[in-house]
Homo-oligomer: A and B are copies of this chain.
Amino acid sequence: MAKKSSAESQGRGGNSAVKARDKATLGKIVDFADDVAAKTFGGREPKIDIPTRTKSNTIWNKKRGILQMGDAVSQRELFNLNQAKQFMQTCLHSNSVKQLIDADKTLSLRGMFYKGLHTVAGTKGEKTFGDQDESDGILEDLEVSLEALREELHIYAKKRGTMIGNITIVDNGDEIDCRRMGTGGYAIPGIVEPDVIQFKRCEAKFVLHVEKDTVWGRFNEDRFWEKHNCILTEGSGQPTRGVRRLLRRLNQELNLPIYCLLDCDPWGHYIFSVIKQGSISLAFESERLAIPDAKFIGIRSKDYRACGLSDDVQIDLNDNDIKRAKEIAAYPWFAGDKGWQREIEGLLTNGFKMEVESLITKDISYVTEEYVPQRLKAKDWLD
């Protein structure tokens, strides 16, 4: 794919995939506005239906292995003192999104807050948004109402996380060979939709996703991805939407298994849960972010004995850890899984957490040369 000429260089425009996606999103926004207008001019009360983003309206779809939103809907009316502000905020952000798509530009959540912020005419300093949280909530409402991912509204989440390995991608027309990205790697952007990122050539047979950049550095330095023909990603903690969406696309479009190497603690288990099933607060995203067949390759509670580790690796569980572990064990997708029930029981029985980095107590490269290769060979992981 050729580099864009400078005439096309403003924004991400130019290819037909962009236009198709944006056209669809614009269509939804225009329909939304038309509906409000039709009600108004028809003498009816202007109101909009917003699917309810609450835990009670979140359904665990066991068959598909993802969280989904239920059918509950709340109405937002203009002529209702409690709802008028949110109604106006929704219209304001819809208009901003339309402007972004028309200009072929993107904004962060913070940027959207500032873009929509102004003093309401005729008031004594009443602002359109009290704070960014208020703005973020309205954007989530808009996502579910329009059934469009935030990324399709031209809004991006934080950029964080890196990739390296046996794949060539095209990012905004630039061909990037992830086999030749040195010690730094390719920085995964906030928006990785198919019109921005295309997969070009991929020999990799799987993806190894690790929690921390420091662990990623160990695997890259030992050239694990070259020796084991894979792609190596990291999310610097809880992976961003960009990272999750990229992993999902690698899984769905290239049929690559996703193996997650995370700490043996409730935080590691939670990260895995979000990668696999989606987050409870944003269940509507799961359809396009969750990876139901992701695997948890470790660290496992049995490893203390199985790997002959010393007590140096033990980090005592505190009260909050124990509470979180029990909450996570009760998640529907873990509750029905014997492997996960045993795993979390093992963690609680041990009474201590273990970090991936603690395997260094065996040897600097134990994790890359023995631990992960052995687990992959034995297909020893949790679903």
Chain B residues, Cβ within 8 Å of A197: 182-183
Chain B residues, Cβ within 8 Å of A217: 106, 108, 156, 159, 189-190
Chain B residues, Cβ within 8 Å of A357: 108, 110-111, 114
Report Cα–Cα, A169/B173, bound state, in Å. Answer: 20
Shortest Cβ distance from A4 into chain B, in angstroms?
Answer: 9
Report whether A159 and B184 are in contact in the complex, using a CB–CB cutoff of 8 Å.
Answer: yes
4 smallest A-B Cβ distances: which pairs? A171-B182, A108-B214, A184-B189, A174-B180
Shortest Cβ distance from A248 into chain B, in angstroms?
Answer: 17
Q: A312-B127, A360-B114 are in contact. Are A183 and B213 (CB under 8 A)?
A: no
Residue A181 is within 8 A (CB to CB) of chain B in the complex: yes
Chain B residues, Cβ within 8 Å of A106: 217, 221
Residue among A9, A103, A184 with most chain B CB within 10 A: A184
Report whether A184 and B187 are in contact in the complex, using a CB–CB cutoff of 8 Å.
Answer: yes
Which of chain A's residues 211-231 have a Cβ closer than 8 Å to chain B? 213-214, 216-218, 221-223, 226
**29 A-B pairs (CB sep. < 8 Å):** A6-B226, A9-B223, A11-B221, A11-B222, A12-B183, A100-B364, A105-B364, A110-B214, A110-B357, A114-B312, A114-B358, A115-B360, A118-B312, A119-B311, A158-B214, A159-B162, A159-B184, A159-B214, A169-B182, A170-B182, A171-B181, A173-B182, A176-B182, A182-B197, A183-B191, A184-B187, A184-B188, A184-B189, A185-B187
Stoichiometry (number of copies): 2
Residue among A6, A114, A182, A221 with most chain B CB within 10 A: A182
Report Cα–Cα, A117/B354, bound state, in Å. Answer: 14
Shortest Cβ distance from A167 into chain B, in angstroms?
Answer: 13
Report Cα–Cα, A185/B365, bound state, in Å. Answer: 28
Interface size on A, residues (CB 8 A): 68
Residue A59 is within 8 A (CB to CB) of chain B in the complex: no
Residue among A114, A159, A189 with most chain B CB within 10 A: A159
Q: Which of B117, B160, B185, B213 contacts A213 (CB 8 A)?
A: B160
Q: Which of B180, B190, B310 contacts A118 (CB 8 A)?
A: B310
Report whether B159 and A171 are in contact in the complex, using a CB–CB cutoff of 8 Å.
Answer: no
Shortest Cβ distance from A191 into chain B, in angstroms?
Answer: 7
Report whether B183 and A189 are in contact in the complex, using a CB–CB cutoff of 8 Å.
Answer: yes
Contact with B along A169-212 (1 / 0, CB 8 A): 11111111000111111111111000011000000000000000
Q: A172-B182, A174-B181 are in contact. Are A107 and B364 (CB under 8 A)?
A: yes
Which of chain A's residues 57-79 have a Cβ closer than 8 Å to chain B? none
Report Cα–Cα, A221/B108, bound state, in Å. Answer: 12
